[in-house]
């Protein structure tokens, strides 16, 4: 993990070399080299439906949101926008994405309509690059818990302490086009350090702009660290074999961040005049997440069968 060693002059919060302002107290950060801040002043298109921020691609004459299809509106941001420094390559092409979608439809289970695979009509399949930060963080985590260490006659004894923990490659999505759940579902499928010479199979993907404020990203980073901390604390720092009532407080001490664009395929399909969306990783055809209809007849049939079985058992018991 790199150690940037930067802190805010006012509140002493950890900052990165490309922070324009402190995400905690909003103090302007000291100027750094221009190449350390790859930002640009642009007009962005804001989707009126889902709020995603897009770059206008002249050759595609794009006027609708690639995520949800709603009308895009021009927005003039007051501050420069960050740009992704690393574009992870697409290793899944359009044909493989289409095939993976069909396989996924057929694997959804018995409660889906029997004609779903045959009657679902794929309407759009679009390559997208959604953006996020990959953080390396150093944090001081204060903790308090009850453990069985040194409990003597009692089952539990109170303990407290402080630990210095390091976290590598923590992904914080900055997208508004994908839900937080969708983005986190896709994250494990990506190789954040691709080998040299890996071909990018897509050259016309829509690139999303960074749109999550740094303060919000910092909050999500702290939430991620707090979710990862208990396992490390209980295995390395908290005495005893059993732990309960664990409480933590996290203070970030060092940060390094990379701005990354992650490849994904967004597919829209229609079934019985209803439109559904599926998101597929651009690097793993088995990593999908999407919406699909249920068969009401099959669901109600199972409920009726279970109800009849329960009533029959009760009748036998009471007879």
- The string of pLDDT tens digits covering residues 177-189 is 788 899 999 999 9
pLDDT at 177: 79
Q: How confident is the model at residue 2 (pLDDT cuts 50, 70, 90)?
A: very low
pLDDT at 56: 54
Whether 107 and 74 have beta carbons less than 8 Å apart is answered as no
pLDDT tens for each residue of 29-74: 765 554 555 555 555 666 666 666 665 544 445 556 655 666 666 6
CB-based burial label for 82 (10 Å; 0-12, 13-18, 19+): buried
Structure token digits, residue 1: 């993990």
Helix (H) or strand (E) holding 228: helix 214-232
pTM: 0.74
pLDDT tens for each residue of 147-182: 999 888 889 999 999 999 999 999 999 888 788 899
CA angle (5, 216, 49) in 5-degree steps: 145
**Which residues are within 8 A (CB) of 201 and not within 5 positions of it... i.e. 6 or more apart?**
89, 90, 91, 92, 93
């Amino acid at each position: 993990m790199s150690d940037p060693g930067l802190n805010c002059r006012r509140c002493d919060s950890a900052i990165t070399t490309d922070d324009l302002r402190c995400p905690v107290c909003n103090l302007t950060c000291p100027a750094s080299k221009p190449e350390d801040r790859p930002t640009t002043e642009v007009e962005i298109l804001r989707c009126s439906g889902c709020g995603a921020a897009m770059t206008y691609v002249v050759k595609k004459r794009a006027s609708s949101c690639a995520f949800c299809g709603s009308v895009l509106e021009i927005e003039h941001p007051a501050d420069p926008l960050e740009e992704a420094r690393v574009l992870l390559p697409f290793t899944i092409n359009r044909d493989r994405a289409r095939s993976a979608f069909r396989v996924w439809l057929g694997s959804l289970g018995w409660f889906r309509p029997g004609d779903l695979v045959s009657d679902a009509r794929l309407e759009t399949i679009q390559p997208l690059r959604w953006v996020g930060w990959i953080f390396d963080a150093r944090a001081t985590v204060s903790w308090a818990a009850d453990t069985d260490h040194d409990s003597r006659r009692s089952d539990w004894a109170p303990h407290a302490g402080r630990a210095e923990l390091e976290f590598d490659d923590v992904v914080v999505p900055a997208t508004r086009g994908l839900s937080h759940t969708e983005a986190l579902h896709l994250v494990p499928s990506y190789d954040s350090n691709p080998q040299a010479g890996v071909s990018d199979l897509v050259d016309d993907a829509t690139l999303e702009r960074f749109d999550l404020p740094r303060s919000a990203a910092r909050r999500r980073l702290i939430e991620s660290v707090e979710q990862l901390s208990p396992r490390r604390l209980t295995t390395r720092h908290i005495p005893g074999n059993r732990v309960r009532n664990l409480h933590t407080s996290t203070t970030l001490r060092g940060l390094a961040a990379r701005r990354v664009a992650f490849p994904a395929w967004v597919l829209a399909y229609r079934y019985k005049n209803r439109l559904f969306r599926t998101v597929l990783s651009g690097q793993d055809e088995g990593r999908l997440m999407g919406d699909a209809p249920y068969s009401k007849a099959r669901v109600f049939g199972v409920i009726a069968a279970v109800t009849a079985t329960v009533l029959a058992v009760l009748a036998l018991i009471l007879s």
